[in-house]
Amino acid sequence: MTSFTPLNEVKMSFSAWVALAAVIATIYGLIKRYETRLVLLLAGLVMCCCSLDPMAAFEQFDKSMTNRALIISICSSMGFAACVTLTKCDLHLVSLLTKPLNKLGILLLPCCMLVTGVASLAIGSLAGLCAAIGPTLIALMLRAGFRPAIAAAAIISATLPNYWSPGSTDNILVAQLAGIPVMEQINHISFNILILFGLCIVALTTICFIFGDYKKGFQQSINEKGLIRPLPELPQHPNLLKAFAPLLPVVLLFIISLWFPKVKMSVATAMLIGFIYVIFVTRSNPAELVKKFFDGMGSGYGIIGLIIAAGVFAAGLRSCGVVSGFIDFLKDSSEIAKLGGSFGPYILGVMTGSGNAAAFAFCESVVPHAAEFGMKIQDLGFLTCLSATLGRVSSPLAAGVILIAGIAGTSPLEVIKRSAPVSLTAIAFTLLLV
């Protein structure tokens, strides 16, 4: 007697193959630097259509596009960042932080990482941070006797303090998934970030000795031809009030959340207070700054657009049954879930050079099911986003890595030879913390 395969099994098998092909095509598209949002949207729509559920993609698009928490936090942060850049307050902060670092010997490496960490609170973009702080710190380190590759690695391996920023898109997304305020998520991970940041400093200093990347008294030549684009000059005499401007919203939110918890200050409120402070301190034209603030808010929708596209991609995976199958595989063991939530985003970050694309895709599809793995959404979300971020700084395709390598006059591959072991060490240690 001839046996027939049930229709639903055929459908599931076909959907699984479609999902596999879509994931491979997505990774290829991201590696080839096609428009990230187009790649994610198209892959998600194709998977939903092949699963005979095309409306799932459109429903997810609508849901993500009107996400109040994400829009308010991200757009206000981007508006404030645009004003800080226009008034060059960020450069005053960088200049102030780098002045005491002239004659520290081997200790210059951890000190430059500390300075970068503080600056990352105000400058969330890796490429933007490298452009602002890279020229000064790289020049200091090369003149002190450090090789270009380790100098560049010191910058990109020191960005974890950005997770203390309420403007961090990773924090905003995880908090939204967990249904908690952003500051509660930051307080939840603050101690872990402190430990991991210290670990990164120790790990890269150790790598510096292993590679023999420091020779006292030997000044490396600065290859100006390696510069990719004109970079901003830092002010010779930084203004303390201007230097404090980029940090004001962060300081406000921490003070309110720790000592005045009954006062519910939103990220947008803190950014607006910071914006008003910038107007008074810089004595800039208010009309010009207001225009820049709203222009910056508009640019924030570029980031939100990536989150929307990642949501549609995740909806496609759900329609194909991939998410439910992955969850069934992971939920038998929290240890397997930790590995899946860490090395999956890390590998995707390395392959694509984009931390956001990897983090948002995993957060949308897997993190909401953290309870089924015996974990909290805050912890699995943090692990996922952190791993994707560390994957980005381990990728020769990342814009920030290419930029900082160009500033130092070295190869991106030489830089990630130093940064990748630091990232993997941090991920391994994070698995013990969460």
Digit-coded pLDDT (tens) for 74-105: 788 788 888 988 998 878 887 787 777 666 77
C-alpha span between 135 and 153 (Å, rounded): 13
Q: Give me the residue label for tokens 């400093």.
A: 201
pLDDT at 326 over 70: no
- Which one is predicted more confidently, 68 or 419? 419
pLDDT at 420: 93
pLDDT at 10 over 70: no
pLDDT at 193 over 90: yes
Q: How much is the pTM? A: 0.69
pLDDT at 6 over 50: no
pLDDT at 227: 42
